[in-house]
Amino acid sequence: MDKFTFDKVVELAHFLEQYIPKMPKDDSHTLAITKEDRPTWDRLYKELILTNVLDDGRAFGQKDNNNQYGIGNDASGYRAEYYQLLMQCYRYLYQALSAGEVFLQPNIWRTADRTTASLYSQPLYYGPSATEERNGG
């Protein structure tokens, strides 16, 4: 596990979480990633799924991640496929944090390796805090 990959998994988790409220109520319909979000999905798919950092189609019993199962390169999936990939993100993050490879500082993810940390010490999220959003600014 490295800091760069950890940050990409965090980014993918945030990305997938925005689709939770849009999920179909049943598994008979798929949900496509929007045209605006497609470049982000394509990049994360190449960096995390095709490199086998996370299981997408492979989690459904396939020999590799480059198949029609999971959200895949068609950027569309069933509710269970979105939740499965989000669970894979959470699992990866839990394993990294519980192994002590990554630790938290206020608004900054850093690795235990100080030399690597200096390269990636920028905050991951630049938007307003939840308190600022509740207070209108």
Q: What does pLDDT average to in each consecutive run of 10 residues of the chain (137 residues)? A: 86 93 86 94 92 77 63 84 90 86 52 42 44 54
How much is the pTM? 0.69
Neighbours of 136 (CB within 10 A): 6
Give the closest residue to 105 by CA, choosing from 117, 95, 93.
Answer: 117
What pLDDT, on the 0 to 100 scale, is given for residue 97?
84
Give dist(CA 55, CA 110) in Å, integer: 24
User: E strands within 26-116?
Assistant: 30-32, 76-78, 102-105, 108-111
In angstroms and rounded to an integer, the radius of gyration of the C-alpha atoms of the chain is 16
Q: Would you say 71 and 84 are in contact if contact means Cβ atoms under 8 Å apart?
A: no
Residues 6 or more apart from 81 whose CB is under 8 A from it? 56, 60, 69, 70, 71
User: E strands within 2-136?
Assistant: 30-32, 76-78, 102-105, 108-111
What pLDDT, on the 0 to 100 scale, is given for residue 136?
59
Angle ∠(133,93,53) on CA atoms, nearest 5:
120
Give the closest residue to 27 by CA, choosing from 74, 82, 87, 80.
Answer: 80
